[in-house]
Structures are given as C-alpha cells and as structure tokens.
Structure 1
Amino acid sequence: MIADSHARQTPHYEQQYLDLMRHIWLHGDERVDRTGVGTRSILGATMRFSLADDAIPLLTTKRVYWKAAAREMLWFLTGNTNIRPLVEQGVHIWTDWPLDSYRRETGEDIDRDAFERRIIDDEAFATRWGDLGPVYGAQWVNWPRYEPAGEGLFRRAEQGYNQIAELVQAIRTNPGSRRLLFTGWNVAELAGMALPPCHMTYQFHVANGKLSGMLFQRSCDLGLGFAFNIFGLSMLTRMLAQQCDLEPGEVVWSGGDVHLYLNHADLVEAQIARVPSGAPRLRINRRPSSIFDYAIEDFEVLDYAPQGHIAAPVAV
C-alpha cells in the first residue's frame, strides 16, 4: 500500500515540461528553420499549471530571471515598441534583432554592449535603430483603426483599439463571454515587425469566481523562450484577476510548432537530467487603479530556489 500510494502522488508541475523536452529531443522532426540553426520540432503540445495559493510555474531545473520577463510584460502593456526602455532596465532579450539589422545595413561590427550604450545615450539613434516595428504591445493596446475621411476614403485614427482595456471591461461586465481574448497577429502589419508574434493569442475564462488564462503560441523555443512565456501568461492572468475582483484559477499553455534548437544540446541534456523541486509563489504587493499602472516593484517571487543557470545561444 505504501508503494502504491507513493506512485499516485502528484508529479511536480515542471515534470510535464521536462517530459515534453525529452520527447522533442528524442522524437522531434529534424528540420532547417528560418534562422539556419536547425531544430527538432513537433506540432501541438499542451500544459496546465495551477495558480492557486499564489503558485507561479517558474522552472526550477534552471534559474529563470523572472524580473526580466516581468519588465517585458509591463513594457508590452505600455504599447512601446522600442527597446530603449528595456535596455535602460538591463533587459537584453529584444536587442539581438535590431542589432542584427544594424550590422547588416551599416556593415559596422559593433558588439551588443556598445550598441545598447548608443541606444541609451542617443535618442535619435534609438529612434532609428531601436524600434522593432508594430510588435506585441502596439497590437495589444493600439491595434490600427480607420475612420471615414470622405469621398470613400479612410484615414488611420489617432487612437486604435485597446484590446487590453476592452478585455478588462468585458471580464468585469460579461464574465461568461467566449470572447475574452486578445491577439497580436495583425496580418496587415506582420511584414513590418522585427519578429511576428510567437505568443500570439491569449484567452480568458471565468468560472466559480476564478479567472483562468490560456495562451496559444504559434512557435515556441522550448529551451529558452517558454520559461518567459509561461511566466508572462501567469503574471498577466494574476493582474487581470486582481483588477476584476476574481481569484486566479489556472493557466493553460498550448504550442503549435514546439521546438528545440540543435545548438541547445548541452542545455537539453543538462536540464532533463535534473529533478524539479520547490513551489515558488508570486505575490502582488499593490493593487493599482488600472491594469496599465503596475510597476516592477509591485511583484515579488517567494520560495524560489532554482538550480543553476544553463547558458544557450539565441537564434535570431
């Protein structure tokens, strides 16, 4: 009976991630991808994580720099698409794309640190080289809207659709709706984006006084990107729940093309050999007046004791 009881114990929440990583590495389809690095890939995967009692699904088999993920989410909500506010806070996760563009167009072999210093010190340089195009935040809070200009013509309105503000209002007033969602996949503007949205559509569901969130991610770098994506989904769900006087329920992550880069072999082998442990919690220390008024100081992660960081290159 003791052995049987032990076998039925609930696995650590991170085990589903490690199992998926192992499956893709062993059985994924090996292919050449956009970056030229190559991946092992599958189509379709789902994971679920509870947010009860302030739970947060941070990976414990390697250190996740959650404050960088939190700063990125707050940056999205401002609608800003320039990396300058991020690099001013020491967040480098979006620098590689404009840096690569700068190197290709100018021929200057500048390193990341020097490029970021110029972004911070020179506003005109940041305006020219630091903008990512109409990525995530632009679509979330200022999706283009057009209004009649007479004689059958239309002009772009000064203020577009704020999907986040409309979502908050909808959760508060119509919690049973099946339209509690927002997306960054604006087909008309994809060509102007440094990177089309990977975490593209978020949907929310209210039941029994609890708010749950779901993310559909068309493309997921499981080795590096997922840790930030699941934290961002969980953080945003917690913020929305607080703003709408609801308790957090769970988050559901669904991936389309889920892949591991071939140059991440060391990361994969090291991580799947580790055993997850611990139960970190995310505390929100203040309730601001709006979903747009949170600051990094409002968030605190407790009881997080991860294993060591595992370095791996980003494919641009």
Structure 2
Amino acid sequence: MTGTPDFEQQYLDLMRHIWTQGDERVDRTGVGTRSIFGATLRFSMAENAVPLLTTKRVFWKVAAREMLWFLTGETNIRPLVKQGVHIWTDWPLEKYRKATGEDIERDSFEQRIIEDEDFALRWGDLGPVYGAQWVNWPRYERMNDGSFRRGEKGHNQIAALVDGIRNNPGSRRLLFTGWNVDEIDRMALPPCHMTYQFHVANGKLSGLLFQRSCDLGLGFAFNIFSTALLTRMLAQQCDLEAGDIIWNGGDVHLYLSHAALVEEQLSRMPSAMPTLHLVRRPPSIFDYRVEDFEVRDYAPQSHISAPVAV
C-alpha cells in the first residue's frame, strides 16, 4: 500500500468539528442537520494514491458506474438500475408514490423500470441533471422574428474541457458546471457537486471540486472518489500525470439521523490509502468502462449503513 492516512484524517477531523460545533439547522428534507459554511480539503494523488475512505467500506464501483453514466448525458435511472446501482432511485420512487398513492417497494419499482420501457420513460427520468448539463448544455438560436429556439444539439462541456487541457493548458477556464439556473426547477435534485475546475502545472493535472451542499456522512465518499477518478481519466487522455485534488464545500453538514454512523466512524482509525490504476486507455473520455479501473490494496473496515434524506 502507498500513501498515508493524512487524507482520511482531514476528513475525520472535519466530521468531528461539524458534529461537535456545527450549527443545528432545519433543512429541506425536514430531518435536520449540523452544518458549517465553508471547508477545504486537499489530497495528493502521487504514486496512484486515491482518496478512498478506509474507516468504512466505500462501494467505489458504484461511484465509477455513476460517473460513466453522467458522461453519457443520460438522465434516466434505467441504465443504472440495470447495473444494480440504486443511488438515484429514491427521487423518482418518491415522486411515483406521491402521484399514484401506491406504496410500492424499491425493488418492485426498479423491476418495473427495467422491464417496462414506457414506465421507465414516464417515471424513471430525473430531469436535466448532471450528465445533461455536462455534455448537452442547451444552446439557443435567434430566429428571424427575434425569438429564441433551443437547438437540437447542446454544448459538450466535457469535450471542450479535454480540448482545452490539451491545447491551452495555461487557461484559467478549464472547468465545467452543472448549475444551469434556467433548468434547476426541472431537476429531481439541483447539482450538489456543481463546478469542477482543472489546472495544469509541471506536467500534472490537478482537479478542484466546489460542492454547494455536502452530506459528509454519505455523499462525500462518492464525491471525492469520483473527482479523483475523473481527474485521472482526463490526465490519461491528455498525457499528463495526476496532481492534487482540492475539495471545497459550501454548506457541509451531517444529518441528525446519522448519529450512529458518525460515532462509529469517528471511533475507527484510518489505514494507508489504496491505489487506483487505469488498465486501458480508450480512444476518448467517453469510452471508458468500469473494467478499465482497478483499485489495489483496499482493505476497509465494515460498511456503515445510514438512511438517505430525500
């Protein structure tokens, strides 16, 4: 194994600070949180190190499948649930239950999503969430009468980012965002990990994520791994080494319902970081498969379950 537990200790210190000193707030979900405003963490990806928590098991392949789903521009949960990924099901499931009054179980709902394409089209779509904005940001054309019409093909921020890193590595515009103000009210959940920026120096690519809202107990583990994974993919595509990951959180919080998770995780000691290896270089950033990623020397402690606040 490589690396040190410094990355995870930063995370645990932040968790302890929020749990003991955070402001107790009523939030959108009604569950309640302890929260601080503004936090920064920094991790090195030298020697293939990857920020993957060891004080609990993180199902990193689920995070990788979600990232690949984002890059397709897809917004329907059907491709995810076909792969056994459930992390986006709660939102359309809640919408279906409220609309129909049917108290359907998650497994039954997902089975209908898989088996019935028309049902999936009606109930499985999340609106123009992450992937739609990343690779198909709306373009509008001015018509002869002065009005505007949405074009058939949107702006691919990811393709433009790859081109920028390759051909203008000194640019301060190497970024993309999912925060499309005009379409937020159509999204199942406005983007939490909303803006990514990249920086090239000394042959290394570093990535920065600004997260407007961070569920530190559950969401962070996926968010930070996914940022590292995407940065490694971009670096490989642009013939660069991986540098640092900088994570900035706006409202960083722990749900009051996650007390058992917090207390259990804070009682555990982190171990050395595992490593992430990209075993194939596909022709483009859009052609990776989950089999292209290999995490080595990952020996986490047991998974800690906790409810998702919808």
Q: Which residue is equivalent to 1:23?
A: 17
Q: Distance in 1 between matches of 2:208 and 2:76?
A: 27
Q: Which residue is equivalent to 2:297?
A: 303
Q: CA RMSD in A?
A: 1.0
| 2:96 equivalent to 1:97 | no
In the alignment, which of 195, 200, 223 is matched to residue 201 of structure 1?
195
In the alignment, which of 54, 59, 62 is matched to residue 56 of structure 2?
62
- Displacement of 1:148 after TM fit? 2.2
Query: What fraction of aligned residue pairs are identical, expressed as a percent?
Result: 78
The question of whether the paired residues in 2 share the 8 Å contact of 1:37 and 1:261 is answered with yes
Q: Which residue is equivalent to 1:226?
A: 220
| Gaps in structure 2 of 5+ consecutive residues | none
- Displacement of 1:278 after TM fit? 2.1
- Residue deviations 1:175-221 (CA, integer Å, cap 9, x gap): 00000000000000000000000000000000000000000000000
Q: Distance in 1 between matches of 2:158 and 2:282?
A: 15
TM-score (norm 1): 0.96
- Displacement of 1:254 after TM fit? 0.4
Instruction: Provide runs of 4+ in structure 1 moved above 6 Å.
Output: none
| 2:165 equivalent to 1:139 | no
2:102 maps to a residue whose letter is E
Q: Which residue is equivalent to 1:168?
A: 162
* Deviating more after overlay: 150-159 vs 169-178: 150-159
Q: Distance in 1 between matches of 2:120 and 2:301?
A: 36
2:103 maps to a residue whose letter is D
| 2:153 equivalent to 1:153 | no
- Displacement of 1:140 after TM fit? 0.2
In the alignment, which of 19, 26, 45 is matched to residue 39 of structure 2?
45
Q: Which residue is equivalent to 1:241?
A: 235
Q: Which residue is equivalent to 1:7?
A: none
How many residues are aligned here? 308
The question of whether the paired residues in 2 share the 8 Å contact of 1:132 and 1:194 is answered with yes
The 3-state SS of whatever aligns with 1:241 is helix
- Displacement of 1:53 after TM fit? 1.0
| Gaps in structure 1 of 5+ consecutive residues | 1-9
1:206 maps to a residue whose letter is V
Q: Distance in 2 between matches of 1:200 and 1:11?
A: 27
Q: Distance in 1 between matches of 2:225 and 2:271?
A: 17
Q: Distance in 1 between matches of 2:157 and 2:29?
A: 31
In the alignment, which of 256, 262, 265 is matched to residue 259 of structure 2?
265
1:13 maps to a residue whose letter is F
Q: Distance in 2 between matches of 1:235 and 1:66?
A: 10
